[in-house]
Every structure is written in structure tokens, then in C-alpha cells.
Structure 1
Amino acid sequence: MDIILVPGLWLNGSCWDAVVPALEEAGHRARPLTLPGMKSKGASRAGITLRDHVDAVVAAVDEASGPVLLVGHSAGSGIGHAALDARPDRVARAVYIGGFPSPNGSPLLDGLPAENGEVAMPDWAEVGEEANVEDFDDEQLARLYAEAIPVPVRVLTDPVELRDVRRYDVPVTAVCPEYTADDLRGWVDGGAEQLGELAKVRDVEYVDLPGGHWPQLTQPERVAEVILEAAARP
């Protein structure tokens, strides 16, 4: 199976480096994506939009030789879901790690300060999100901040565009790192507005993966196991 790996904000395809070998050893074709403007801190990000990121994922789906397992991390889940909406007949299952699809017309993530058209990674302790990085040691955390790539502001603030209701027929594995599967189910059942899209998906499997928000960096073996389990599901 073709497994397309979509990074979350401030990351590029290299965040999946420790996950890819296990997927390939299992006989799959892994394709970690580096989205437009995210190759490095020095890359040009001028004028890049959410549509550019979604189109890059759609292109990867189109290039796949067979059914696709589409994996998104964090806000990459929203980007991946928008690509799934464009190609619902090509995606066998989606895996959303630490994130979920954004509703039609909503931004991926609004409210973070932008400078010169870019949004830098915040200090998670300063914004009260220590749980995001609870499983990093000091060296890993310093590397995360040092290597974080600013995100084009329009990737975060442009409204998500969803059109094809067949997206709700594509099964989803929702992987829960810094929150639990019971938490996420409760938020969905409670009608949380930002989870309205996930609530409409007809087949959702909830999987606990205790730790921080970036398990592909801190526990890649377990992330690979979860992805392989999803690939094996009908």
C-alpha cells in the first residue's frame, strides 16, 4: 500500500524519518511529504496558501500506484482531509495523529501571531500547552525549537474547502497522544464545533498513544505500529 505521510505545522518530511523504515520493511511504499515552503528555514514562503499545501497532497495521491493510506499529523490532519475530500475514491483509510479534520469554511489554526507573512512555533510552556512536549528530554526539546520552520500564515488562516460528501465514507483512525481516546470521544459526542467534521465520519477508530504531541519524534516505533495496524484493516 502507498502510505502518504503529511507533517504538521513547523515540520517537513524529515519528521517521519524514524517511522519510514518499519513501514517499508512491512512491504509498503512510504512517502513522507515536504509541503511547499517547508523545506528549510531559508526557503521562500511568499504567497504560499493552504490550497498549495492541499494540492501537494492531492498530487501525491494521484501519483500513487494503488489505494492510499493517508496519514496526517496535527494540522496536517486537516490538510490531509481536504486532500481526501478531493480524492475520496483513492484513499482507503485516513490516520489522524494528534489532530482532526477542520470543518468546511474554518481555518486550520487561527490566532497565532504572524510576522512578515509567517507564523513561528510558539513556546509551548508560555502558551500553557506543556502537555505537547512532556515526553521530550531537554536536548530533544531544544532541537525541536531550533529546527522548527515558520509556516506561511495563509496555510493557517485560509478557510478549508470541502465539497464531496463521500469523504464521510472513508474510515478514519484517530490517534490520541496528549489527550485520550475517551477525551476525544467525549468532545465529539458533546458537539464540539471544531470536531463537527470528524463527527460525520461513519467509521472512526480511536487509538490511545500516550505521550506528547509529536510521537513520530519521541516514539516512532509505536507510531509505525499504529500505522501498520491501520493499513491492515479492511
Structure 2
Amino acid sequence: MDIVLVHGAWHGGWCWQRVAPQLRAAGHRVITPTLTGLGARQHLASDNINVDTHVTDIIQEIHYAEMDNIMLVGHSYGGFVITGVADQLGDQIASMIYLDAFVPTKNGQSPIELGSKVRTQDVTAATHENFTIAPTAFAKWSKDANDIAWLKKMTTPHPIRCFADGITLSENPTTARKMYLLCKQNTPSAFHGFYEIYNGQDGWDTDVFDCLHDAMVERPELVIQKILEFAN
């Protein structure tokens, strides 16, 4: 199976380095793109970047990697991105995993509307010169001091319109199989509500990880196990 790992806000493709090699060793083709304006692509940051920009990033990566029969995995804000990708690519997407992530269901929904901790007043105060929000939630991402030091080193400010602008979705629901994975120590968070919605719902598998928000950093073995189970 072709697997696309999509990072969340402030992160980059680097955050999957404890997960991707094991998936490849199991015989899957895996890519870990970095979204425009973040990580190794932070030099491309601008006040025009929003969720739709990042959806296009992943669609282009899939096209030029010539992928098909695809599993999308989205962490946190990445749930918005994989939802937009599946909406546009239709039957190319076989399955989707939301890892402690947002699940938009309607055209025009934004992360702020669905419970992002980024404040509306922060967005209102943003200017052309100051259009990003710096990472601060390190204590919610991992308990390990070395991990926190690494996250502080690697994370980058996130373009603010990604939180405020609504996603573009059609009225055609995806037929992909879906899984929701909750990181239960990440509390309070909007993600507990998404888990409650989809736990037991037809077309969804669910599970709970006993860790903080960055499961791919703190408990990569759990993420690997669930991806492989769902892929097989």
C-alpha cells in the first residue's frame, strides 16, 4: 500500500522519522511531505497560506510519486489536510487514519470553529508582517525531556490563516475506510469529542493511546502497529 503521513501544525515531515522506516520495512511505499511554510519549507511562508494550500501540497506529492491505493494518515491539524485530499482524489484513497486530529465534515469549516486553541483574537491581530503563530504546547506533545528539546529545535511558526480560513469541500463523501486514534493524555482537547462521535460509528475503527499528543514521537510503536493493522 502507498502511505502518506501528514504532519500537524508547527511540525514537518521530520516528525515521522520514528515511524516511516518500519512501515517501509514492512513493504509499504511511504512519503512524509512537509507542508508549505513549515519545517524545511519555512522559507516559503507567506500570509496567503491556508488549509487549501496544504491540501494542494499533498495532492501534488501524490501525483508526482505516482501513488494509488493510498492510505492517508493525518496528525492533529493534518486531519483537515487529509480530509481535503480525500475529497478531491476520491477512489484513489483506500483508507484514512486520524491521529488525535480534527475531522471537518462541511465546506467552510476551520480549525478555530472545530476547537483549535489558536484564539480568534490572535488571527484578528495578525498582519502582513506578523502572519504566523509560534509553537508553545511542548508540554502537551511529549513527557520526555529529550523529545521536548528536539521538538523545540525542529518546530517552526505556523501560518495563521490555516487556523482561520475554512476548508474547501464538495458534497461528495469519501468511501475510504476510516480510523480515529485518540491520545487520551492530551486533555483538554477537541479531539476527545471527535473520538466520542466516531467510536462505534459504521465505517470507523477507533482506538485509544495512553500518551500525549505527539504519539508518533512519544509512542511510535503504537502508531506503527495500528497503521500496519489497518493496511493489512
- TM-score, normalising length: structure 2: 0.82
Counterpart CA distance in 2 for 1:82 and 1:186 is: 20
Secondary structure of 1:159's partner? coil
Counterpart CA distance in 2 for 1:185 and 1:141 is: 26
Q: CA deviation at 1:142?
A: 2.8
Whether the 8 Å contact between 2:35 and 2:41 is mirrored in structure 1 is no
Counterpart CA distance in 2 for 1:186 and 1:120 is: 27
Q: CA deviation at 1:147?
A: 2.3
Q: CA deviation at 1:186?
A: 7.0
Q: CA deviation at 1:3?
A: 0.2
Residue 178 of structure 1, aligned match among 184, 189, 194: 184
Secondary structure of 1:88's partner? helix
Structure 1 residues without counterparts, runs of 5 or longer? 125-129, 189-197
Residue 81 of structure 1, aligned match among 75, 79, 83: 83
1:53 is matched with: 54
Counterpart CA distance in 2 for 1:206 and 1:179 is: 16
CA distance 1:203–1:44, change in 2 (3 Å)? same
CA distance 1:219–1:65, change in 2 (3 Å)? same
Q: Name the amino acid aligned to 1:81.
A: T
Q: CA deviation at 1:162?
A: 1.0
Structure 2 residues without counterparts, runs of 5 or longer? 187-191
Q: CA deviation at 1:179?
A: 5.7
Root-mean-square deviation (CA), in Å?
Answer: 2.4
Whether the 8 Å contact between 2:102 and 2:111 is mirrored in structure 1 is no
Q: Name the amino acid aligned to 1:17.
A: Q
Counterpart CA distance in 2 for 1:186 and 1:51 is: 24
2:162 is matched with: 155
Q: CA deviation at 1:157?
A: 1.1
The question of 1:43 aligning with 2:43 is answered: yes
Counterpart CA distance in 1 for 2:49 and 2:210 is: 34
Q: CA deviation at 1:146?
A: 3.3
Q: CA deviation at 1:202?
A: 4.5
CA distance 1:204–1:179, change in 2 (3 Å)? farther
2:15 is matched with: 15
Q: CA deviation at 1:159?
A: 0.4
Secondary structure of 1:36's partner? coil
**Number of residue pairs the alignment of both structures matches:** 212
1:69 is matched with: 71
Q: Deviations over 1:107-155 (max 9, x none)?
A: 123543355000111346xxxxx6x33x422232233233221111111
CA distance 1:211–1:27, change in 2 (3 Å)? same
The question of 1:24 aligning with 2:29 is answered: no
The question of 1:107 aligning with 2:110 is answered: yes
Q: Deviations over 1:39-94 (max 9, x none)?
A: 34852311222211010112233343320001100110111111111112110000
Counterpart CA distance in 1 for 2:155 and 2:70 is: 28
Q: Name the amino acid aligned to 1:100.
A: F
Whether the 8 Å contact between 1:178 and 1:211 is mirrored in structure 2 is yes
Q: Name the amino acid aligned to 1:106.
A: Q
1:195 is matched with: none
- Larger CA deviation: 82-91 vs 99-108: 99-108
2:189 is matched with: none
- TM-score, normalising length: structure 1: 0.81
2:222 is matched with: 222
